[in-house]
Amino acid sequence: MNTTKMKICSSCESEFSCGDISVEKKCWCNDYPPIFTLSEGGDCLCPTCFKEACEDKIDAYIETINPSNAPKNKAISLPKTNTLIEGIDYYIENGNMVFKTWYHLKRGTCCGNNCRHCPY
């Protein structure tokens, strides 16, 4: 069931593979949070441009979050995934993984460890 296609990124015009490889192995974009509607995104973006667009959209959303509205944020209701994405869920600092605000919002509650980017 190879349904991949070669596409041209609507942002940078680079060529990339898009689509499900098999029933078990879905397209790379399925690892990202489903935060775009088809009308917003235009045509497909390459992995680099798509990640940047996700980071921008998430960063804009996070700007609206404060401790009072964090417990009812929309990230909690998104489908759960075990995949963590560098730049969206975390970054590396001095060899350590630092969880970003989006990761904490997806978890849904404060863990009580005084995390640097805790929105709660």
Mean pLDDT of the 3-29 span: 85
Give domain status of residue 42, yes or no: yes
The total of structural domains in the chain comes to 1
φ, ψ at 68 (rounded to 5°)? -80, -30
Domain span at 88: 5-107
Look at residue 116 and tell me if it is in a domain: no
Judged against a pLDDT cut of 80, whether residue 119 lies above it is answered with yes
Residue 15: inside a domain: yes
For 7-34, what is the mean pLDDT?
86
Residue 44 lies in a domain: yes
pLDDT of residue 12 exceeding 70, the answer is: yes
Higher pLDDT, 23 or 57: 57
- Closest to 65 in 3D by CA, of 17, 29, 101, 30: 101
Tens of pLDDT, residue by residue over 55-82, are: 999 999 999 999 999 999 999 988 888 8
Question: Which has more pLDDT, 106 or 43?
Answer: 106
Q: Is 79 a domain residue?
A: yes
Pick the closest to residue 99 from 110, 83, 88, 113 (CA basis).
88
The predicted model scores a pTM of 0.81
Structural domain includes residue 73: yes
Asked whether residue 39 is domain-assigned, the answer is: yes
Residue 115 maps to a domain: no
